[in-house]
Amino acid sequence: MTARRPLSTARLAYLDQLEAVERLRVGILGGCPDCETEPDEMCAGCGRCQCHTHDTCTRPEAAARLRLALTDDTRETQ
């Protein structure tokens, strides 16, 4: 492995700033910078991010799909 030319201090500071700005942006818009969850990727059920386990939340997307399946079943059997 060849050693890479070390980044200059200015370049490192710039990258730090970029990351800080990105974290700020995600945080302000309602996302979570810690797990890099974009605002529109937050859990629709509980509004939390991937830092949480979501053990207790119902996920509307899955629930809606289940309800749809149940409705279809009911319709067919009646």
By the criterion CB under 5 A, which residues form the site for Zn ion? Answer: 32, 34-35, 43, 45-46, 49, 51, 54, 57
In the chain, the N- to C-terminal Cα span, in Å, equals: 69
Q: Smallest distance from the beta carbon of 24 to Zn ion, in angstroms?
A: 15
Q: Smallest distance from the beta carbon of 70 to Zn ion, in angstroms?
A: 22
How many CA atoms are closer than 13 Å to the CA of 1, on its beta-carbon side? Answer: 3
Q: Smallest distance from the beta carbon of 59 to Zn ion, in angstroms?
A: 6
Look-up of token digits 């605002």? 39
